[in-house]
Amino acid sequence: MTLRQTLLQAAGRVRATRPDVAARAAAFVRACACPGGGFADRSGRADLYYTVFGLQTLAACEPDNSRADDSNDSRAYLARFDPADLDFVHLCCLARCRALLSDAPSAEVRESLPARLETFRAADGGYSHMPGAAHGTAYGAFLALGAWEDAGARLPDVDRLAESLARLRAADGGYANVPGAETGLVPSTAAAVVTLAALGRTVDDATVEWLLAQQRPTGGWPAAPAVPTADLLSTATALHALAAAGGSLEETARAAARAFVESLAEEATGSSGPAGFRGHPAERRADCEYTFYALLALGHLA
């Protein structure tokens, strides 16, 4: 399966285990749809990045619900973007959005997007958000592999990408954003683990143990070992990576993680009103991004 398919499969488990959560999350995301297409960022404006999470949430929660009006609005919104004008992250977002709307990438996507992606290839074989970078990042590798898959193409020089990731292994067993780091970061480690697993490479047991050890007593995962507070992005990506690498949580740890994620739910309007999720305990506003991350986390904790 592609990276996109594994994300949707995991998040989609919530439909069966927590149909109330899935229904409210879908309703929340629909409320974030913009009149001219796309989904709103935190300022209320349509944004490619948030559109990925809006479409992924609907795909996970309502895979059989065909809404021609939504699809047409989204396609019209995506048609505004030229891959040549986009930065690396938004380029990958465009590929993901188009793949979510159609299983058959257009000829334009197959031809133009891969060439643009390669302009972000780093000297060491990885991918970076900055063209001409000396080394890639774990997040860059994850995004690039997903974008190549979403474009219906095969990522070239896979061995060099894996070698780039190997250089990001930190001394403590996690993965960092730069070579030679002493301490890993949770999102970077998760991105590296998922990418390596997708490439069929072995994930070291010490890295799995490192990820397991980062869980806080509150149940969630922080962005880094020194960060005292857990957040939803780090929690969801850590759980996704552990699943990809075959790591498992004890039931008490699973229950704590579940409680942490559920504590970030926005209060629903009425008994069945829309309800999204917030990114961390201090945040008071929900958005499309964290709503999908909540589904992803809960899907792995089902």
pLDDT exceeds cutoff 70 at 207: yes
- The per-residue DSSP string of 262-286 comes to HHTBPPPSSSS----B-SSTT----
What are the tens digits of pLDDT across the range 103-126?
555 666 667 788 899 999 999 999
What is the pLDDT averaged over residues 83-89? 94
Sign of CA dihedral 114, 7, 31, 290: negative
pLDDT exceeds cutoff 80 at 65: no
Q: What is the pLDDT of residue 250?
A: 95
pLDDT exceeds cutoff 60 at 281: yes
Which one of 3.40.50.920, 3.40.50.300, 3.40.50.10540, 1.50.10.20 gives the CATH number of domain 3-300? 1.50.10.20
pLDDT exceeds cutoff 60 at 66: no
The crossing angle, in degrees rounded to 10, of helices 232-245 and 205-213 is 150
What is the pLDDT averaged over residues 32-48? 94
Domain ranges of the chain: 3-300
Residue 89 — very low, low, confident or very high, per pLDDT cuts 50/70/90? very high
pLDDT exceeds cutoff 80 at 208: yes
Q: What is the pLDDT of residue 14?
A: 97
CB 266 within 8 A of CB 278: yes
Q: What percentage of residues in the chain have a pLDDT greater than 70?
A: 92
Q: What is the pLDDT of residue 68?
A: 46
Residues in the chain: 302
